């Protein structure tokens, strides 16, 4: 058992050797830290501010093993522990437990192995940008360049969905913006 990146066979609870993909033989194992470091180098981070707060977006063009093309999950469970591959995202989350945020993670469909993670962070002190309800902070989600939560996919409308944070209830809500293919929630 040795890591296919650093060739070491040492492991610990913090840094186990994972069987993370479909690769076999001498390239079967990789350290959690080696895999996380490699994925972090392939990541781009973008920040989008509007007068309602900010959205931090992470993009990976591919989130898969380069050899066998197996898509990696966001987290592994091994030895009864969870190992999160994208804990770089956690640094963006508010340290104040009262502060609201919404974490959106893309799923893998068919051959598309790109991944997107968005952290929506409403600024509570900011005045609402919603004329009909002063409690709502509104962020646009879609393919257009003027959206805060940008999803570059041909099936996504320019302004597909509105992400709304209600400061009086503390809840987020999604509102479809008459998009071509609609906004659906996975039952899983
Ligand atoms: Zn290693
Ligand atoms: Zn592989």
CA–CA separation, 59 and 152 (whole Å): 11
Mean pLDDT to the nearest integer, 78-100 = 88
For ligand 1, the distance from its centroid to the CA atom of residue 96, given in whole angstroms, is 34
* Closest residue by Cα to residue 98 from 63, 124, 62: 124
Q: Indicate the domain borders of the chain.
A: 44-176
- Residue 118: the pLDDT is 95
- Residue 31: the pLDDT is 95
Looking at residue 25, the DSSP 8-state letter turns out to be G
Cα angle vertex 55, ends 52, 61, to 5°? 160
pLDDT band of 113, cuts 50, 70, 90: confident
| 162 burial level (CB within 10 Å; 0-12, 13-18, 19+) | buried
Which ligand is in closest contact with the Cα of 70?
Answer: 2
Mean pLDDT to the nearest integer, 102-110 = 84
Poorest-pLDDT segment among 7-21, 94-108, 135-149:
94-108
Reading the block at residue 179, the tokens are: 């998009």
For ligand 1, the distance from its centroid to the CA atom of residue 70, given in whole angstroms, is 19
For ligand 2, the distance from its centroid to the CA atom of residue 126, given in whole angstroms, is 46
For ligand 1, the distance from its centroid to the CA atom of residue 3, given in whole angstroms, is 5
Per-residue model confidence as pLDDT tens digits over 61-82: 889 999 999 999 888 888 789 9
Reading the block at residue 10, the tokens are: 């040492």
pTM: 0.87
- Report the first-to-last Cα separation within the chain, whole angstroms: 35
For ligand 1, the distance from its centroid to the CA atom of residue 92, given in whole angstroms, is 26
């Amino acid at each position: 058992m040795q890591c296919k990146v650093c060739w070491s066979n040492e492991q610990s609870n913090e840094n186990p050797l994972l069987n993370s993909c479909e690769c076999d033989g001498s390239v079967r194992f990789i350290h959690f830290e080696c895999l996380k470091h490699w994925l972090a180098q392939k990541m781009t981070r973008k920040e989008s501010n509007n007068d309602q707060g900010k959205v931090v977006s992470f993009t990976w063009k591919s989130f898969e093993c380069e050899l066998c093309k197996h898509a990696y999950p966001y987290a592994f469970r091994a030895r009864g522990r969870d190992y999160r591959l994208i804990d770089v995202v956690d640094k963006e989350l508010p340290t104040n437990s009262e502060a609201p945020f919404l974490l959106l993670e893309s799923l893998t469909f068919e051959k598309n192995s790109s991944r997107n993670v968005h952290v929506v962070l409403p600024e509570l002190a900011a005045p609402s940008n919603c004329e009909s309800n002063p409690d709502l902070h509104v962020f646009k989600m879609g393919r257009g360049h003027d959206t805060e939560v940008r999803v570059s996919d041909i099936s996504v409308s320019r302004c597909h969905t509105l992400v709304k944070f209600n400061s009086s209830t503390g809840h987020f809500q999604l509102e479809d913006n008459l998009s071509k293919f609609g906004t659906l929630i996975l039952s899983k």
